[in-house]
Amino acid sequence: MQTLALAFLAATAIGGLAWVFIYPMLSGERKAESRRASIARNDAPARQAEKTQRSRREQVEGSLKELEARHKKDKSVSLSTRLTQAGLGSWTTQKFWMVSGVLGAVGFVIAFVVGGSLLGAVVMAFAAGLGLPRWLLSYLKKRRETAFLKALPDAVDVIVRGIKAGLPLFESIKVVAADSPEPLRSEFNAIIETQTIGMPLGEACARLYERMPLPEANFFGIVVAIQQKSGGNLSEALGNLSKVLRDRKKMKEKIQAMSTEAKASAGIIGSLPPAVMLLVWISTPDYISLLWTTPLGQFMLLCCVGWMTIGVLVMKKMINFDF
């Protein structure tokens, strides 16, 4: 009995050793473990690259959120900033208010001499002193933005070619500032001057949006700011930006061509009442002069001007498209 027990224990020990040492080699478990280890070693660089890419993506998202928060914070535009955006950077706010006051006084005198009504003269002074200068600012700003957008894609292409040729970004911006037309030249000169006094180049480019509030200028500032913080292939990023700018320009021109008929119709409809009024005044001035010589006529004329303004603004909203 004792012999059988010893034999059983010996057989169990030998079977356990065989299970531990021999069975993995026969079943292929060690090969599977070796293969899994090799795959894990091969996946380590990919995992590291994915981690680096995720970190870069988080940095980009952080930069975008920071820029968006700053733009929301600076949403209110001061009068001095509006003067700069219109290309009147040499003007001060005092000079603007003086010119507005002079225009208001001239409008009051002309309206009072022609119509003889105090209410009409006050309305004309209000329109000439507050409405006309702001309309001129908006017109100059829009004309300046149009000229900027026309030259920006070519300027970005110049920067891309300079970077590919081995020039630093700052030197490429200097080339653009030297050879580009206005207002692109003055805006890039402002970037150079801002960077010269110690501000980082990415932040100096991001401030372009404050002087030129356009999505395209914002795109340029964001690309440069992100590249300065996170690194990367700047020539490729700016090349993609140039393509985006040209595609947006094509889309804008396509929308303008498609809305030309609606704009012409709106212009005709909006100009009919003043044109009819002018023709009636030329043919029978005594018939229509009651509109500005009597209190009731002045009230009716004021109401008509208000309704016409509302109609023109509604038509403008209907035929202008954002993209």
Q: Which residues of the chain carry a pLDDT beneath 50? A: none
Q: Give domain status of residue 38, yes or no.
A: no
Q: Give domain status of residue 231, yes or no.
A: yes
Q: How far is 149 from 142, CA to CA, in rounded Å?
A: 11
Q: How many domains is the chain built from?
A: 2
Same-domain check for residues 238 and 185 = yes
Tell me, what's the pLDDT at 123?
81
Same-domain check for residues 156 and 288 = no
Tell me, what's the pLDDT at 272?
87
Same-domain check for residues 154 and 291 = no
Q: Give domain status of residue 239, yes or no.
A: yes
Q: Of 157, 159, 217, 206, which Cα lies nearest the Cα of 183?
A: 217
Residue 53 Cα distances to 176, 293, 322, angstroms: 32, 75, 33
Q: Give domain status of residue 218, yes or no.
A: yes
Tell me, what's the pLDDT at 49?
54
Same-domain check for residues 97 and 234 = yes
Q: Of 210, 247, 213, 223, which Cα lies nearest the Cα of 173?
A: 223
Amino acid at 211: R
pTM above 0.85, yes or no: no
Q: Give domain status of residue 14, yes or no.
A: no
What phi, psi does 109 have (nearest 5°)?
-65, -45
Same-domain check for residues 269 and 315 = yes
SS3 sequence of the chain:
CHHHHHHHHHHHHHHHHHHHHHHHHHHCHHHHHHHHHHHHHHHHHHHHHHHHHHHHHHHHHHHHHHHHHHHHHCCCCCHHHHHHHCCCCCCCHHHHHHHHHHHHHHHHHHHHHHHCCHHHHHHHHHHHHHHHHHHHHHHHHHHHHHHHHHHHHHHHHHHHHHHHCCCCHHHHHHHHHHHCCCCHHHHHHHHHHHHHCCCCHHHHHHCHHHHCCCHHHHHHHHHHHHHHHHCCCHHHHHHHHHHHHHHHHHHHHHHHHHCHHHHHHHHHHHHHHHHHHHHHHHHCHHHHCHHHHCHHHHHHHHHHHHHHHHHHHHHHHHHCCCC
Q: What is the DSSP letter of 76?
A: S
Q: Give domain status of residue 157, yes or no.
A: yes
Domain stops at, among 220, 246, 272: 246
Q: What confidence tens digit (pLDDT) does each residue in 34-84 have?
A: 666 666 555 555 555 555 555 655 655 555 555 555 555 555 678 888 888
Amino acid at 139: Y
Tell me, what's the pLDDT at 234?
79
Q: Give domain status of residue 89, yes or no.
A: yes
Q: What is the CA radius of gyration of the chain?
A: 36
Residues in contact with 89: Cβ distance below 8 Å, sequence separation at least 6, in sequence order: 83
Same-domain check for residues 214 and 112 = yes
Same-domain check for residues 145 and 215 = yes
Listed in order, strand segments (DSSP E) in 42-179 are none
Q: How far is 114 from 112, CA to CA, in rounded Å?
A: 6
Same-domain check for residues 241 and 124 = yes
Tell me, what's the pLDDT at 317?
79
Same-domain check for residues 134 and 156 = yes
Q: Which domain holds residue 319?
A: 259-323
What phi, psi does 106 have (nearest 5°)?
-65, -45
Domain stops at, among 219, 246, 273: 246
Q: How far is 305 from 284, CA to CA, in rounded Å?
A: 21
Same-domain check for residues 139 and 216 = yes
Domain stops at, among 246, 275, 291: 246
Residues in contact with 109: Cβ distance below 8 Å, sequence separation at least 6, in sequence order: 121
Same-domain check for residues 151 and 181 = yes
Same-domain check for residues 190 and 273 = no
Q: Give domain status of residue 165, yes or no.
A: yes
Tell me, what's the pLDDT at 113?
82
Q: Of 104, 61, 99, which Cα lies nearest the Cα of 79?
A: 99
